[in-house]
Amino acid sequence: MSTPERHDVVVIGAGVFGAWVAWHLVGRGKRVLLVDAYGPGNARSSSGEESRIIRMGYGADEIYTRWAQRSLELWTDFFGFKRPGLFHETGVLWLAGEGDARARETVATLRGCGVAFEEIDRDELEKRYPQIAFDGIAVGVLEPNSGVLMARRAVTALVEAAMMKGAEYAVAEVVTPQCTDAGGGLTAITTRGGARIEADQFVFACGAWLGKLFPDVLGERIFPTRQEVFFFGVPAGDRRFSPAAMPTFLFQRDESYGMPDLEGRGFKIALDRHGVRVDPDTQSRIVSEEAAEEVRRYVARRFPGLRDAPIVETRVCQYENTSSGDFLIDQHPELENVWFVGGGSGHGFKHGPAVGEYVAGRILDGAVADPRFSLSSKDTVQRRAVY
């Protein structure tokens, strides 16, 4: 890899966070190099796989609701008419039991932020969505303008667009930074192949690899976990699980989420609990039979029409969690021109555009930092608070 000139910013990691950081920086006239070990949207990355939910509801966490609003605006502006099919407006249906405090908080926040939504009682839910068994569910909150982003393809399109705007891109594995200047900053990074890359600023947006690259600082504060995802084949000719008939859904009490049969790939479902800690380079990408059986039982109970449906596709990806679920967006404690951008914690993909905008503002404008994203707020013990 040849890098003959010094860059303003090098972004390490071409997932959704890194790609949007590069997009915003190059849009503001900066010389940007984007580096990734495996490629944008690759199978090992948390930004890989086919689809990700974009929704506005976050309980009382207004910051994430507002960031999701801004991100949907930027995603749709980016997709425009040239990249059709990368956002499916399926609607997102929040399901809640009787007296669910988070549902009440979500409604209040959506209303306060001006998000379109509809509250639906149990009787109306059963009329609209007879393909769902609503035992334990008292109410639904439908966001009609939310939906699904086609993740892998969206990230690839974004990297290609950033390159058309002037960003450079390279496939290379970056090693743990060692080189500093007299002022306490980083002068260059080195690739596994021995190439030296110089820049004024370095943004490490490499997700589950953050702890591997910075073991002393982040090794105990980034938790990569194994997450198994399943696609069930819908019965032939059955339209009950199509986007026209069924929204994307989330039910926190069941720790489940799912999507309708998009692009003929099958009904997607996963159990949203943190799996075991893994190495993103070497973990097995084959789902366990135990997880498959658990999901089959759950689908049979909650979606009776899919009781005997085959699993037509599976994926194993990972979250890169922080202790709370809040993002990590902060400077290295010792290297003033090194930035950490990660900790997507299973909900970060949708926020890529707003994250990129925030990081660009921090680097170029000295924008005020939000303490929720600080390194100092990240613990070494997981206590999930953001869903």
φ and ψ of 289, to 5 deg: -65, -30
State mean pLDDT over 254-274: 97
Q: Count the neighbouring beta carbons within 10 Å of the beta carbon of residue 272.
A: 17
Reply yes or no on whether the pLDDT at 340 is more than 50: yes
State mean pLDDT over 338-343: 98
Beta bridge partners, 140, equal 95, 120
- Structural domains of the chain, with CATH: 1-89+148-222+322-387 (3.50.50.60)
Q: What is the pLDDT of residues 289-317, one digit of tens each?
A: 999 999 999 999 999 999 999 999 999 99
Reading the block at residue 28, the tokens are: 């503001």
Alpha-carbon distances, residue 342 vs 4, 30, 56, 132, 348 (angstroms): 29, 22, 20, 35, 9
From 188, 189, 161, select the one nearest 174 (Cα to Cα). Answer: 189
Q: What is the pLDDT of residues 143-193, one digit of tens each?
A: 999 999 999 999 999 999 999 999 999 999 999 998 666 667 899 999 999
The mean predicted confidence, pLDDT, of the chain is 95
Reply yes or no on whether the pLDDT at 3 is more than 80: no
**Sheet strands (E) in 98-247:** 118-121, 139-143, 147-150, 168-171, 188-190, 196-204, 223-232
pTM: 0.96
CB burial class (10 A; 0-12, 13-18, 19+) of residue 113?
Answer: middle
- Asked if 246 and 240 count as a contact pair (C-beta separation under 8 A), the reply is yes
Beta bridge partners, 197, equal 189
Look at residue 283 in the predicted model and tell me its pLDDT: 96
- Asked if 102 and 59 count as a contact pair (C-beta separation under 8 A), the reply is yes
Look at residue 51 in the predicted model and tell me its pLDDT: 97
Residues of the chain by 3-state class (helix, strand, coil), percent to 5: 30, 25, 45
Look at residue 247 in the predicted model and tell me its pLDDT: 98
State mean pLDDT over 250-257: 96
- Rounded CA separation 80/159 (Å): 16
Look at residue 86 in the predicted model and tell me its pLDDT: 96
- Rounded CA separation 154/150 (Å): 6
Q: What letter would DSSP give residue 378?
A: -
Look at residue 56 in the predicted model and tell me its pLDDT: 98
Reading the block at residue 12, the tokens are: 């390490």
Strand, coil or helix: what is 163?
Answer: helix
Cα 366–343–378 angle (5° rounding)? 80
